[in-house]
Every structure is written in C-alpha cells, then in structure tokens.
C-alpha cells in the first residue's frame, strides 16, 4: 500500500512539474543568459584598463535613488503637470533630473577614489616611518 502512495506522489509531482515546465525552463534560460553575460563582461574587463572605473560608476549608480515622476497641479492654472523628482528636488524635465542624478553618481564615485587615495597615502607614510614592513 505504501508503494502505491509513493508512486502516486511521484506521478503527481511529475504532472505538476510538467504543467509548469515553460515558466521553469524560461527562468532557467534567463538565469543562464545572465551568467553568460556576466562571464563575458568579466572577460572583457580583464583587457580594459578603465574597467575598475566603470564598475565603480555602476556601483555608485545602484546606490543612488532613481528619478521619480510625480503629477502636481500648476499653481496658476491648476492643470496637472508632470514633474521629475530627484533627492527631494523637483525638475521640469526628465533630462534635468537625469543630469542631476548623473552628477551625483560621479560625485559619489570621486569620493570613493579620494578615500582610496587617503588610505594608500596613510599606508605609504607608515612604511616610510618604519611602522609597516615594505612590500615584497
């Protein structure tokens, strides 16, 4: 009797998997495509002298909020107008808001490199003072 129940459970599981095969296979294909794209990008980054800067900009871009779209009434006519908000500031056009966001991303990336330089200079000063042994 227990063998019959086990076979019924296996059959039902197989039927459910067969029913949802397209979404499952689609998700697996998308996962594989993302991995292939990531591997290709890593391969190209090995030969690109500016890959580190591009990666820093991508990381900074992920950390900064996106431009959002809001509808506000015009103070003179009352007609709803579309405004674009970035970091609490409303802009009239999408281009202005995207420009402000781009400026913020670049500023964040520059701050990262300033911090990196500060750390490197401190290490160099400690080596010069004899606190840290020189690199082999």
Q: Is the pLDDT of residue 126 over 80?
A: no
- For the segment 44-71, the average pLDDT, to the nearest whole number, is 87
CA distances from 51 to 64, 99, 115 (A): 20, 23, 19
Residue 37 pLDDT class (50, 70, 90 cuts): very high
What element of type H or E holds 36?
A: helix 21-46
Ramachandran area for residue 126 (φ above 0: left; ψ -120 to 50: alpha; else beta): alpha
What pLDDT, on the 0 to 100 scale, is given for residue 32? 96
What pLDDT, on the 0 to 100 scale, is given for residue 41? 87
What pLDDT, on the 0 to 100 scale, is given for residue 121? 67
CA distances from 69 to 9, 85, 130 (A): 51, 6, 56
- For the segment 56-83, the average pLDDT, to the nearest whole number, is 86
- For the segment 18-24, the average pLDDT, to the nearest whole number, is 89
CA distances from 41 to 35, 50, 58 (A): 10, 13, 13
Domain parsing of the chain, residue ranges: 1-47, 50-136
- Residue 123 in contact with residue 132, Cβ under 8 Å? yes
Q: Is the pLDDT of residue 71 over 90?
A: no
Q: Are strands 89-91 and 68-73 parallel, antiparallel or unpaired?
A: unpaired
* Residue whose tokens read 């794209």: 37
């Amino acid at each position: 009797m227990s063998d019959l129940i086990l076979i019924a459970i296996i059959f039902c599981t197989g039927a459910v998997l067969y029913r949802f095969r397209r979404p499952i296979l689609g998700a697996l294909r998308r996962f594989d495509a993302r991995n292939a794209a990531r591997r290709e990008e890593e391969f190209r980054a090995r030969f690109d002298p500016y890959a580190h800067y591009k990666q820093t900009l991508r990381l900074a871009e992920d950390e900064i909020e996106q431009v959002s779209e809001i509808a506000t009434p015009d103070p003179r006519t009352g007609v709803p107008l579309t405004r674009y908000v970035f970091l609490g500031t409303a802009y009239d056009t999408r281009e202005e808001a995207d420009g402000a966001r781009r400026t913020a991303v670049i500023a964040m990336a520059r701050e990262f490199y300033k911090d990196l330089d500060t750390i490197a200079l401190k290490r160099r000063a400690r080596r010069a003072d004899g606190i840290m042994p020189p690199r082999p």
